[in-house]
Amino acid sequence: MLLRQVSSLLLAVYGVSSSAIERRSNVGFEDGQPIDSDGRGAPLSGGTNYELDLQNPDNLGRQSTDNGVVPNVKWSFSDSKTRILRGGWVREQVVTDLPTSKDIASAQQHLTKGSIRELHWHRVAEWGYVYAGSITISGVDENGQYQVAKLDEGDIWYFPKGLAHTVQGLDDENEFLLIFDDGDFDAVGTTFNVDDWITHTPKSILAKNFGLPESVFGSVPSPNPYIANGTVDNHAVTGGNGELTGNASFAYYAKDHPLEEVPGGGGTLRIVDSRTFPVATTIAATVVALQPGGLRELHWHPNAEEWLYFHKGQGRATVFLGNAAARTFDFRAGDTGVFPDNSGHYIENVSDTEDLVWIEIYKSDRVADISLTQWLALTPAGIVATTLKIPLDVAETLQKEKQILVKNR
């Protein structure tokens, strides 16, 4: 009885009745057709991508609570142009792909063993997550301090804006997610590759700068290769002003950080922000695994838009923009998404057997969210009951602790 009452409460928050939900069952939608159980709608007769319709039944009008105009918040890496190179590949999602993602750009990148993402720097910060293989990262800061570190699956790195760095693959095949704290990452003046700079500098200047003959620079690649074949480098780095360690380290090792407590019992959570990874001052993240049928509870983020990368499984989310505007999206592995700044949302694992695994990214120094249930539970119960037209005893029994990931019930 209590569960039914709480369900009615949540529906009331969005201004809909339970009967409206019940009228639109999955009849027709799971077959890729915009037809509901009341007979509204009709079959698709014109050109359509049937496979996409099957993958996105909520685009066909399945959710009666969807309303108004909500811009697209979803992009699949499978729709991105893949740049194939000797030693690997890269494919991006930038603001021209997903205009709603203003704060964050992203890429998937693959390096074969020994291959190098050439020496470079950015005018924006770079954050990376290794999900296959292992890599070496190398970076040097403005004080002549450096770090060379080996990262394995689940490990993370962060290079601040302007930090000189490179990445090399160590296993036969290595792959990682890259995040940048500017959606317009492809703009000129964002990435600076060292060989590109050297080939566009007079050789007489290079000779004077390095104290070397001009002939030394005759074979520098042009145009720059971006990714280059190589062999694993085991040279030790010494000198300068010493190695970056402790809170100054660019590397976050997952094994050194326990998972967060999840009161709702619906999965696991790892928060990676400046509180657990001090150098990461502009990009905060959460790595989430949600059990089958579980729910990332209704919430919003007061400090940033939320960018997402779905790594495994299938999920569903509704984005609420205020003014009765809401839209539901279907997500699966390889999709990216963005929930606009302060928009209300949830994420549901729609699988009965497989975990839904995703990474949340925020252009902020910390992860912050406000739980809808906790907010209502910590507001005078009479006000909540009057506002939502629900029984007072229901308002009095709402969970006062964030549930975060709610197990299937």
Helix (H) or strand (E) run with residue 92 in it: strand 88-93
N-terminal to C-terminal alpha carbon distance within the chain: 13
DSSP string, 306-373: EEEEEEESEEEEEEEEETTEEEEEEEETTEEEEEPTT-EEEEEE--SSS-EEEEEEESSSS---EEHH
CA distances from 137 to 127, 224, 333 (A): 12, 20, 26
User: Helices (H) and strands (E) in the chain — how many of each?
Assistant: 8, 25
Of 399, 395, 408, residue with least CA distance to 5? 395
CA distance 318 to 328: 4
DSSP-derived 3-state class of residue 226: coil
| Contact present, 191 and 118 (Cβ < 8 Å) | no
Q: Which of 261, 360, 396, 401 is catalytic?
A: 360
Query: Residue 261 catalytic?
Result: no
CA distances from 125 to 33, 52, 191, 301 (A): 44, 34, 11, 21
| Contact present, 183 and 94 (Cβ < 8 Å) | yes
Active-site residues, by number, are 360
